[in-house]
Structure 1
């Protein structure tokens, strides 16, 4: 693995759980303080997106098992308690701080590859053996 590449474990984590830089920022916010509880407003204040977008990403992270939704509406989300996921989030944060462009490339390259695969499915294939 070259110095420019991210380890396969980080690439796999991104592929499985991260669809945007906004979602990455939210995830890393939680991983910095795994025991802290966050409201939608607190997360919004930290990353300065939109409250609706923040809430949508928070709910997706809950569905993916990376966050837990609490019953207290004032502090309604916190990081999951699974140590292996927390350590992967921390490692991702380290790579994002040292190689942000590489992490962002991995997030968005997946979309290009998926679109290309879809387009390739519609390529016209010749059956002429002489071509």
Structure 2
């Protein structure tokens, strides 16, 4: 991959926050229409993965302050990120629209960053 296609700041952001293409698809979907309210079913109908997984990612984005959840029946979700987080998500969404393969490669090549691999080698892991 031509790493210069994806700026280092965005690559690092992906490595910290994005773990799957499904998660990215959900982010881009809600980002593309921030004033809309999206139910789990509506997102599932577009992303076509699994409802439990869609719901998990929507709830995770709520926890991160990127989406807001209403208390209606069914509950709906909308994009509400602001500040630097919003700027990084928006930059990522725009790159995904123009260079989807490069962004997907970035998601799955997170372990190829030598410095991160070295740092991860020193993480303390709990024994099962």
Structure 1 residues without counterparts, runs of 5 or longer: 122-131
Q: Aligned pair in 2 of structure 1 residues 34, 113: CA closer, same or farther (>3 Å)?
A: same
Determine the structure 2 residue equivalent to 1:15: 15
Equivalence map 1:1-131=2 (5 Å): 4-111=4-111, 117=118
CA-CA distance at 1:113 after TM superposition:
5.5
Higher alpha-carbon Rg: 1
CA-CA distance at 1:120 after TM superposition:
5.6
Compute the RMSD of aligned alpha carbons.
2.7
Query: Structure 1: how far apart are the matches of 2:64 and 2:21?
Result: 17
What do the CA deviations read for 1:35-72 (whole angstroms, capped 9, x no partner)?
11110000001111111110011111111221111111
Query: Structure 1: how far apart are the matches of 2:87 and 2:61?
Result: 16
What do the CA deviations read for 1:51-107 (whole angstroms, capped 9, x no partner)?
111001111111122111111133421112415433333321221122112111111
CA-CA distance at 1:11 after TM superposition:
1.5
Structure 2 residues without counterparts, runs of 5 or longer: 123-128
TM-score (norm 2): 0.77
